[in-house]
Amino acid sequence: MKRVAYFGGTFDPVHCGHIAVAKALVPAFELDRLYFLPAFHAPHKPDRRPTSGYHRYAMLSIATANEPMLMVSTLELDKRERRYTIDTLAELKALHADSELFFVMGADSWMDIRTWKDWESVLLAVNHIVVSRPGFELSSDHVTPKVQSRIVDFRTSGNRLPADFATDEPQIFITDAVNQDISATELREDLSDGEFDRQDEIPAEVAKYIEKYELYR
């Protein structure tokens, strides 16, 4: 059975941390393909309107151009509306009915999961990969016992799926496979004056795209 993962987020902008995580997860979970899944407008983040989906898709495409295992999905952008993850997962399960499906989220999303629509159903619907980051303490106190019973701390197994691992139910894997702490919010603030002082945190070609189209000013 093939293994397919979708990495959800706004990716505004995509940065080196996102790419490093994706590249690390492919071998760790023996994925056949990983898709970045940019949101049109995350429903649980109503206060800030993201950069246009067109630009975010373009930046992701540029960042993954030389990575054959990494793709970009327009499933949520094509809807042109705020999209709930529970609905997206139903579509993805139908689209990949013959594959083992994983949904990737960052540490912030995990800790804010109770703000998501039908959050418990989201966590029980498919396999999830929760990516930790340096200095961020992950907890499971905010989720139900049923969800807690599905958590597998991947950090204790070298961040690789054991060869004999098998389960009949979707699991929630916690991994710290990538030791990077890059904030898209801080990057946007840095770019707002037209000067960029953190060039090692955004892929070079993406930085050129941002400069050309004067994004984040």
Return the CATH number at 57.
3.40.50.620
* d(C-alpha 77, C-alpha 57), whole Å: 9
Parent domain of 29: 2-181
pLDDT of 194? 67
Q: Within a domain: residue 93?
A: yes
Q: What is the dihedral of CA 193, 194, 200, 206, to 10 degrees?
A: 130
Q: Within a domain: residue 96?
A: yes
Q: Within a domain: residue 195?
A: no
Q: Within a domain: residue 43?
A: yes
Q: Which residue has the tokens 């540029």?
A: 62
Q: Within a domain: residue 117?
A: yes
pLDDT of 127? 96
Q: Please give the helix or strand (H or E) that residue 62 lies within, else none.
A: helix 53-63
Q: Could you count the other beta carbons within 10 Å of the beta carbon of residue 193?
A: 10
The domain tally of the chain equals 1
Three-state SS sequence of 188-211: HHHHCCCCCCCHHHCCHHHHHHHH
Q: Within a domain: residue 203?
A: no
pTM of the model: 0.91
Phi, psi angle pair for 68, to nearest 5°: -60, -25
SS3 content of the chain, % helix, strand, coil (to 5): 40, 15, 45
Q: Within a domain: residue 213?
A: no
**What is the block-wise mean pLDDT of the chain (217 residues), using blocks of 10 residues?**
94 93 93 95 63 95 97 93 92 96 93 95 97 84 96 79 76 85 80 72 92 90
Q: Within a domain: residue 216?
A: no
